[in-house]
């Protein structure tokens, strides 16, 4: 009885502490302190993008040290790991978006934000050309173009979808990179389902509409295929049973296996699980052409011969990795030291774009020898914040040392005190200047594979711990919940999961 009483007390206190902390976080979020206005005499730091890299930088940067300007066509940060869940309505899209205005309002010194796209960078004149592409925004607004001068520039514009110039891809498929892509997929899934259920629809057309083809067996393709299968099993089957048995997912991958970056046993586990989920995996199959209702692919058979395959589809999702953004391609052409760079801006160990002095690059648009992941981008952003905070401190210390040294020269009475202060400042300066180069610390790879199962490759002492299944799924969910950008995101995602479990996904089409 005594143990029970203590357990109750402990539970009560824990709940109270959690509620108290949540209330404090919400209150603090709604009542930010007054901001210092940007000081134009300080160095202008221009940051391109509001993704993992740039937001990692902005979150940790002391904005009082610079005149900070952010340029991005997206006025929010997107938590990409949960984007595949938005395609089926398991998670509502706004739950994984965090307005950049909210992020910037919490900085000590105000930061200027322009919703625009950087179209080119001129490293000679140190200016960025930005375009406010009004299309789709305020009706009647015209496209505006202007230039922003910079002292320091950070490029964190991410990457585009790779299509490898394969004919028909852009015209006929959906990508899965942005919120708009997930919304379009969600709408198109229901389009296919409703059209397949239309009175008098031919059997052939039903089979085409109900075949959902995913090209690319990387984590994006696998996670989407898993989410799609869950949607049909858990919701469509109950709501529209007459067509659900015609539902099919085909996952096409050019390599001999899916998830090439995961360990061998997890690749096997994933492929077996996907097959159990009735996902048709076509390996060693490279898509060569896409037409309005079918993909044409080349299959390498076991004997090495090649065969042409035509797969009809209702919805095609293209997830074959990253390609350069135009602004990055344009900059590569302007820097002679980057003439051999194909995958992005080659950077040194301090993330400085090689061949430049005042330009840094982070995330998917930078080539630093790491995989293009959110983890890498975020750590790079945090590293740059530390570097820039240190650089500002260095400038301030050097200025003060200069000032003190000249007062020493004037031989004022307090020279001993001044000399001590100089010595202490020089000591601090040595420590500040000793910034180690960027080193990525891998926290592990996680991927959802459907039917409440996930796979995880986690570094363990000097080796690797590989796990897959339902427990890993719980780990996957708790890891991503804790990594959400804000408490607001965390609460919304949790409520979405509970809502979908209790009431099912919302299949209405907006």
User: Which parts of 308-367 interact with ligand FAD (CB under 6 A)?
Assistant: 325, 327, 363-365
Considering the complex, state which of residue 35 and residue 133 has its C-beta at the smaller distance from ligand FAD: 133
Rg, Å, the chain Cα set: 27
Q: What is the 3 state secondary structure string of 198-234? A: CCCCCHHHHHHHCEEEEECCCHHHHHHHHHHHHHHHH
User: Which parts of 423-452 interact with ligand NAI (CB under 6 A)?
Assistant: 445-447
> Does residue 71 interact with ligand FAD by CB under 6 A?
yes
Least distance in angstroms from the C-beta of 267 to ligand FAD: 17
Report the distance separating Cα 94 and Cα 83, nearest Å: 11
CB burial of 215-253 (b: ≥16 within 10 Å; e: otherwise) equals bbbbbbbbbbbbbbbbbbbbbbeeebeebbeebbbbbbb
Report the distance separating Cα 380 and Cα 361, nearest Å: 9
Report the distance separating Cα 316 and Cα 318, nearest Å: 6
> Does residue 72 interact with ligand NAI by CB under 6 A?
no
Determine the angle formed by the axes of helices 374-409 and 52-60, rounding to 10 degrees: 40
3: left (phi over 0), alpha (psi -120 to 50) or beta: alpha
Choose the contact partner of 83 out of ligand NAI, ligand FAD, none; CB within 5 to 8 A by kind.
ligand FAD
Q: Which of 48, 71, 252, 361 binds ligand NAI (CB under 6 A)?
A: 252
What would the two tokens of residue 314 be?
């209702």
Least distance in angstroms from the C-beta of 47 to ligand FAD: 9
Please list the residues that pair with 113 across neighbouring strands. Answer: 70
Report the distance separating Cα 483 and Cα 490, nearest Å: 8
The residue range among 30-38, 67-75, 255-263, 404-412 that interacts with ligand NAI, by the rule CB under 6 A, is: 255-263
Binding mask 200-229 for ligand NAI (x = CB under 6 A): ---------------xxxxxxx-x------
> Does residue 466 interact with ligand NAI by CB under 6 A?
no
Considering the complex, state which of residue 166 and residue 327 has its C-beta at the smaller distance from ligand FAD: 327
Q: Indicate the SS3 state at residue 455.
A: strand
Please identify the residue of the shown chain whose CB is closest to the bound ligand NAI.
218
Q: Which of 72, 85, 250, 341 binds ligand FAD (CB under 6 A)?
A: 72
Q: Which residue stretches of 175-306 are H helix?
A: 179-196, 203-209, 219-231, 237-239, 241-244, 264-276
Choose the contact partner of 51 out of ligand NAI, ligand FAD, none; CB within 5 to 8 A by kind.
ligand FAD
Binding mask 307-326 for ligand NAI (x = CB under 6 A): ------------xxxx----
Considering the complex, state which of residue 52 and residue 113 has its C-beta at the smaller distance from ligand FAD: 52
How many binding residues for ligand FAD (CB under 6 A)? 33
Cα Dmax for the chain: 101
Least distance in angstroms from the C-beta of 297 to ligand NAI: 7
User: Which parts of 144-173 interact with ligand FAD (CB under 6 A)?
Assistant: 156-158
User: Which parts of 93-122 interact with ligand FAD (CB under 6 A)?
Assistant: 117-118
Q: Which residue has the tokens 């004037």?
A: 410
Choose the contact partner of 156 out of ligand FAD, ligand NAI, none; CB within 5 to 8 A by kind.
ligand FAD
Choose the contact partner of 218 out of ligand FAD, ligand NAI, none; CB within 5 to 8 A by kind.
ligand NAI
Report the distance separating Cα 117 and Cα 125, nearest Å: 19
> Does residue 216 interact with ligand FAD by CB under 6 A?
no
Choose among 129, 119, 133, 150: nearest CA to 40: 150
Burial class (CB in 10 A: 0-12, 13-18, 19+), 412: exposed
The residue range among 112-120, 149-157, 184-192, 369-377 that interacts with ligand NAI, by the rule CB under 6 A, is: 369-377
Report the distance separating Cα 445 and Cα 459, nearest Å: 9
> Does residue 374 interact with ligand FAD by CB under 6 A?
yes
Backbone dihedral angles phi then psi of residue 471, each to the nearest 5 degrees: -65, -40
Report the distance separating Cα 378 and Cα 172, nearest Å: 33
Choose the contact partner of 109 out of ligand FAD, ligand NAI, none; CB within 5 to 8 A by kind.
none
Q: Which of 270, 373, 389, 489 binds ligand FAD (CB under 6 A)?
A: 373
Binding-site ranges for ligand NAI (CB under 6 A): 166, 215-221, 223, 252-255, 260-261, 286-287, 319-322, 371-373, 445-447
Binding-site ranges for ligand FAD (CB under 6 A): 48-54, 71-74, 80-81, 83-84, 117-118, 156-158, 176-177, 220, 325, 327, 363-365, 372-375, 377
């Amino acid at each position: 009885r005594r143990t029970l009483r203590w357990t109750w007390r402990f539970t009560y206190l824990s709940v109270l502490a959690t509620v108290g902390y949540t209330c404090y976080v919400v209150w603090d979020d709604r009542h930010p302190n007054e901001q210092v206005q940007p000081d134009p005499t300080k160095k202008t730091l221009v940051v391109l993008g509001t993704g993992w890299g740039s937001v990692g930088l902005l979150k940790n940067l002391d904005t009082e040290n610079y005149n900070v300007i952010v340029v991005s066509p997206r006025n929010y940060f997107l938590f990409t790991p949960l984007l595949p869940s938005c395609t089926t309505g398991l998670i509502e899209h706004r739950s994984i978006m965090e307005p950049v205005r909210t992020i910037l309002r919490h900085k000590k010194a105000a930061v200027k934000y322009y919703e625009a796209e950087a179209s080119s960078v001129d490293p000679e004149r140190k200016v960025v050309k930005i375009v406010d592409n009004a299309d789709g925004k305020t009706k009647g607004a015209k496209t505006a173009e202007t230039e922003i001068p910079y002292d320091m520039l950070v490029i964190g514009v991410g990457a585009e979808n790779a299509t490898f110039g394969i004919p028909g891809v852009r015209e006929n498929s959906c990508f899965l990179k942005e919120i708009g892509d997930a919304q379009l997929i969600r709408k198109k899934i229901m389009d296919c389902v409703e059209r397949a259920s239309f009175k008098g629809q031919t059997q052939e057309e039903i089979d085409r509409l109900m075949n959902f083809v995913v090209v690319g067996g990387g984590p994006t393709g696998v996670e989407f295929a898993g989410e799609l299968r869950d949607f049909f099993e858990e919701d469509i089957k109950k709501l529209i049973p007459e067509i659900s048995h015609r539902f099919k997912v085909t996952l096409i991958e050019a390599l001999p296996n899916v998830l090439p970056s995961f360990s061998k046993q997890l690749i096997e586990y994933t492929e077996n699980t996907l097959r159990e989920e009735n996902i048709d995996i076509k390996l060693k199959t490279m898509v060569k052409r896409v037409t309005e209702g079918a993909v044409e692919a080349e299959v390498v058979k076991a004997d090495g011969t090649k065969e042409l395959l035509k797969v009809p589809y209702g919805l095609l999702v293209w997830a074959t990795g990253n390609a350069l953004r135009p602004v990055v391609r344009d900059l590569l052409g302007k820097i002679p030291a980057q003439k051999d760079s194909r995958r992005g801006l080659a950077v040194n160990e301090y993330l400085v774009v090689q061949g430049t002095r005042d330009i840094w690059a982070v995330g998917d648009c930078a080539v630093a020898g790491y995989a293009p992941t959110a983890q890498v981008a975020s750590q790079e952003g945090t590293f740059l914040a530390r570097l820039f905070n240190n650089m500002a401190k260095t400038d301030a210390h050097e200025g003060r040392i200069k000032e003190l040294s000249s007062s020493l020269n004037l031989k004022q009475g307090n020279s001993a005190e001044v000399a001590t202060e100089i010595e202490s400042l020089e000591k601090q300066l040595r420590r500040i200047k000793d910034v180690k180069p960027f080193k990525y610390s891998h926290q592990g790879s996680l991927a959802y594979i459907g039917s409440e199962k996930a796979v995880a490759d986690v570094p363990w002492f000097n080796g690797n711990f590989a796990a897959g299944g339902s427990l890993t799924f719980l780990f996957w969910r708790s890891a991503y919940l804790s990594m959400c950008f804000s408490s607001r995101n965390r609460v919304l995602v949790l409520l979405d999961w509970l809502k979908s479990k209790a009431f099912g996904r919302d299949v209405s089409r907006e």
